[in-house]
């Protein structure tokens, strides 16, 4: 029973981590394929929030202690607050170019 | 789990290399700032994945730091571009 639970936990966390990494790869391809700076920002701001969130949830399933999971929660909250603000300021700065 | 580590960190390494290539090769300052922003989030992802697979919470402090540093860096570059645009016009 415990082995089955362990396997399920490993598979779910592996899928989450792989999805987050694939998202980062796709966005870096978008960095080359899109035509303007704002279009490129559209591609790169997705892994900044969703990719980090997926990787953090995947890592949190592996940890057993509360302090590491709390740190992961801090990372996710920080990223969810900071990434849109930074992207907004950059988008305002580059204008319509 | 080892295969997952290789695959996931391989994807992230490829993404990071593409981001560095974008910063180095023919890009404007805004493009570089965007690519740098993406690089910090890729590094955060890499730290999270590696510490999750090793089940070692030591590197998580670095990820917190990296998130803060990336935010400060992109805001600073954005303000610099804005002030330069105002000076030109």
Q: A52-71: per-residue pLDDT in tens?
A: 999 999 999 988 789 999 99
Residue A18 CA to its chain's centroid (Å) = 11
Tell me what pLDDT residue A46 has.
Answer: 84
Tell me what pLDDT residue B1 has.
Answer: 78
Tell me what pLDDT residue A94 has.
Answer: 85
Q: B34-48: per-residue pLDDT in tens?
A: 999 999 999 999 999
Total beta-carbon pairs less than 8 A apart between chain A and chain B: 176
Dihedral pair phi/psi, residue A36, rounded to 5°: -120, 165
Q: Which of A22, A44, A75 sits opposite B67 (nearest CB)?
A: A75
- The CATH number for B57's domain is 1.10.287
Where would I find the H helices in A1-97?
A: 2-33, 37-46, 52-62, 66-94
A41 contact residues in B (CB cutoff 8 A): 34
Dihedral pair phi/psi, residue A66, rounded to 5°: -70, -35
ipTM passes above 0.85: yes
Say yes or no: B23 contacts chain A, CB-CB below 8 A: no
Give the range of the structural domain holding residue B61, as residue numbers without chain letter.
Answer: 2-88
Q: What is the 3-state secondary structure (H, E, C) of B14-80?
A: HHHHHHHHHHHCCCCHHHHHHHHHHHHHHHHHHHHHHHHHHCCHHHHHHHHHHHHHHHHHHHHHHHH
Tell me what pLDDT residue B56 has.
Answer: 83
- With a pLDDT cut of 90, the percent of chain A lying above it is 52
Domain ranges of chain A: 2-94
**Cβ–Cβ < 8 Å for B34, A44:** yes
Tell me what pLDDT residue A96 has.
Answer: 59
As a whole number, the mean pLDDT across chain A is 89
Distances (CA, A) of B43 to A8, A26, A50, A52, B46: 27, 15, 14, 10, 5
Tell me what pLDDT residue B80 has.
Answer: 92
Cβ count within 10 A of residue A41:
24
B14 contact residues in A (CB cutoff 8 A): 25, 28
Counting the structural domains of chain B, the total is 1
pTM exceeds 0.80 for this model: yes
Q: Is B53 in Cβ contact with A62 (below 8 Å)?
A: yes
B57-76 residues touching A, CB cutoff 8 A:
57, 60-61, 63-64, 67-68, 70-71, 74-75
Tell me what pLDDT residue B48 has.
Answer: 92
Q: A2-22: per-residue pLDDT in tens?
A: 889 889 999 999 999 999 999
Span A27-41, mean pLDDT? 89
Q: B28-77: per-residue pLDDT in tens?
A: 888 898 999 999 999 999 999 999 988 888 888 999 999 999 999 999 99
Span A31-48, mean pLDDT? 87
A1 pLDDT band (50/70/90 cuts)? low
Nearest CA in chain B to A71: B60
Which are the contacts of B25, defined by CB distance < 8 A and separation ≥ 6?
none
Q: Is A82 in Cβ contact with B12 (below 8 Å)?
A: no
């Amino acid at each position: 029973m415990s082995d089955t639970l362990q396997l399920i936990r490993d598979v779910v966390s592996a899928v989450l981590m792989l999805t987050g990494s694939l998202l980062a790869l796709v966005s870096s391809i978008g960095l080359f394929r899109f035509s303007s700076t704002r279009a490129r920002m559209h591609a790169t701001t997705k892994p900044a929030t969703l990719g980090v969130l997926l990787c953090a949830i995947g890592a949190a399933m592996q940890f057993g202690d509360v302090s590491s999971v709390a740190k992961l929660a801090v990372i996710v909250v920080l990223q969810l607050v900071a990434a849109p603000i930074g992207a907004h300021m950059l988008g305002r700065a580059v204008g319509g170019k | 789990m080892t295969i997952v580590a290789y695959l996931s960190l391989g994807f992230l390494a490829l993404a990071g290399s593409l981001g560095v290539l974008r910063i180095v090769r023919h890009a404007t300052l805004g493009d570089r700032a965007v690519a740098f922003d993406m690089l910090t989030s890729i590094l955060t992802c890499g730290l999270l994945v590696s510490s999750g697979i090793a089940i070692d919470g030591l590197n998580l402090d670095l990820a917190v730091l990296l998130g803060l540093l990336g935010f400060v860096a992109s805001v600073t570059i954005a303000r610099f571009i804005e002030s330069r645009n105002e000076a030109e016009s």
